[in-house]
Amino acid sequence: MIKFKNSEITPENIYKKRRSFIKSIGLGASSLAISAIPFANKSSASERDKLTSYKDITTYNNYYEFGTSKSDPYRNSKTFKTTPWEISIEGEVEKPIKLSMEEISEMFVSEERIYRLRCVEGWSMVIPWMGFSLSELLSKVNPTNKAKFVEFESVYDPAQMKGQRYPVLNWPYNEGLRIDEAMHPLTTVVTGLYGKKLPNQNGAPLRIFIPWKYGFKSAKAIVKIKFVENMPTSSWMWASPREYGFYSNVNPNVNHPRWSQATERVIGEGVWAPRIKTLMFNGYGDEVANLYTGMDLKKYF
């Protein structure tokens, strides 16, 4: 594990200031057409889009490989080894490849991507991820015409991952996307957050993030990406098909059997803060709604 010196880590408040400074220049130039006062626009959405603190993002995690309690991943992942790490892209492709983390960081440039994470349990965070589009990675292989879905397999290592010693889920963790979903520019390969290397409890060294789907779709610590012909059965579908569908798009109109999905709690907002309304596709409808034209999203939940 790479150790950062204290001096190398940008404090969160400076990080945020730097961001807003860059933003103010960027917005000033690009959004003149939309609004003469970019900041006025910004402030109306600011409460909703306020970045969640680094502490909450890295100490409040659902990562059952390290335990089922939300504080477990932070505690139990400290010594998790992420080097060496290799990702294999295989299945219905002309030429399968294996890439090391070093190769991946040389081949692709990670950029900051601020996305809202909506957990199926009814809470959300706003996270400044570092990453690049999965489509860039997938373009390194040529899928055969049989390939219809992409399957993601997380690492299986019960010696290091306590939670995998219990049959809580059918390990290794498995997730999947339709090819067009996987190729969508918003589907991100995550390598870091808050400008730092991705912490172990957030899925180091490499995970995916799909902003318009519930958090569990975004598999962590990925070792295998497989093109397949048939719709994969994800770990959560296998555990409870009635509760977790393949698509699992954020949808305030389709309730989870045990709780409502109409609203969400914003993490870190304190005990007196009200819930906020959950948006269709987690607010990314403009970008992704066309993937599901004509589909009954109540049926394909």
Partner 1 sequence: MQKYLKPSVFILSTIPFLVILYKIFLNKLGPEPVKEITHFTGEWTLIFLCLTLSMSPLKRLTNLSVWVSYRRTLGLFVFFYATLHLLTYVGLDYRFDWQPILDDVVKKKYIFIGFAAWLLLIPLAITSSKKMVKLLKNNWKKLHRLVYIIAIFWISSLYMVIKNDFF
- Which residues contact partner 1 by CB under 8 A? 56, 59-60, 68, 123, 168, 239-240, 243, 255, 258-260, 262-263, 265, 267-268, 270-271, 274-275
C-alpha closest to that of 212 among 276, 261, 281, 262: 281
Nearer to partner 1, 12 or 56 (CB): 56
Q: Which of 13-22's residues contact partners 24+ apart within 8 Å by CB, and which partners?
A: 15/194, 15/195, 16/51, 19/112, 19/128
Nearer to partner 1, 267 or 291 (CB): 267
Tell the smallest beta-carbon distance from residue 197 to partner 1 (Å): 22
252/212 Cα distance (integer angstroms): 12
117/61 Cα distance (integer angstroms): 11
Partners of 266 in beta bridges? 124
Nearer to partner 1, 100 or 263 (CB): 263
Nearer to partner 1, 26 or 241 (CB): 241
Tell the smallest beta-carbon distance from residue 59 to partner 1 (Å): 8
Q: Which amino acid, 207? A: R
Tell the smallest beta-carbon distance from residue 237 to partner 1 (Å): 12
Tell the smallest beta-carbon distance from residue 123 to partner 1 (Å): 6
Nearer to partner 1, 112 or 243 (CB): 243
Cα 141–chain centre separation: 22
Tell the smallest beta-carbon distance from residue 166 to partner 1 (Å): 10
Tell the smallest beta-carbon distance from residue 119 to partner 1 (Å): 10
Q: How many CB atoms lie within 10 A of CB 156?
A: 13
Nearer to partner 1, 31 or 59 (CB): 59
Nearer to partner 1, 84 or 274 (CB): 274
Per-position DSSP letters for 134-173, written without gaps between them: HHHHHTTS-B-TT--EEEEEE---TTT-GGGGSTTS-SSP
Per-position DSSP letters for 195-217, written without gaps between them: TEEPPGGGTTT-EEE-TTB-GGG
- Helix segments in 248-291, DSSP class H: 285-288
180/185 Cα distance (integer angstroms): 10
Cα 131–chain centre separation: 10
Q: Which amino acid, 234? A: S
Tell the smallest beta-carbon distance from residue 231 to partner 1 (Å): 21
Nearer to partner 1, 230 or 255 (CB): 255
CB burial readout 259-282, b (16+ within 10 A) else e? eebeebebbbeeeeeeeeebbbbb
Tell the smallest beta-carbon distance from residue 155 to partner 1 (Å): 22
